[in-house]
Amino acid sequence: MKRFGALMGLYLAALFLAPTPALAAQEIKPFVRGSYRQIIAARQGKPFIVNFWSLSCSYCMVELSMLKKLAMKYPRLDLVLVSTDTPEEEKQVSIALAKIASSKAEAWLFADSFSDRLRFEVDRTWQGELPRTYFFKAQGEVNAISGEIEQKEVEQWLKEQYAPR
């Protein structure tokens, strides 16, 4: 009987201490007005990449996978992933991020029903085409690219930004 009690105690401890899928999932922050400025301000003086993507964008999935590989190769890479999907799709976004994105990337999800306003706040010239990637240099210079990006181009940028000085 003592053995049963000990085993039951171990089982319950494992059950309550094991991460549940909801707890183990990457935190997704609501992207609202002001979020983009917040992302930039938190990284002032540091190089980083902001990637806008969507579940319905096949090129985005390929790009997220490529960025995941680069994040593993370049551990100092500061990567921010912003899904332009709706808050109702948060579960699917979370699943997609768990499968194909870097777990160390900061994740955001559009949380304003008027997505045009969010895009305009990010970049007045951005019409919503995806994927949309912004490369921020430590000095503040930013380069925006719409559409698929080549791994070798991203890798070259990373080498330039994170090279020993």
Report all structural domains of the chain as residue ranges with CATH numbers, in order of start.
29-162 (3.40.30.10)
Packed helices 58-73 and 90-100: angle between N→C axes, nearest 10 degrees: 50
pLDDT digit of tens for each residue in the chain (165 aa)?
555 444 333 333 333 333 434 334 689 999 999 999 999 999 999 999 999 999 999 999 999 999 999 999 999 999 999 999 999 999 999 999 999 998 999 999 999 989 999 999 999 999 999 999 999 999 999 999 999 999 999 999 999 998 876
Q: Is pTM beyond 0.75 here?
A: yes
Question: How do residues 107-139 score in pLDDT, each as one tens digit?
Answer: 999 999 899 999 999 999 999 999 999 999 999
The values of phi and psi at residue 89, to 5°, are -100, 15
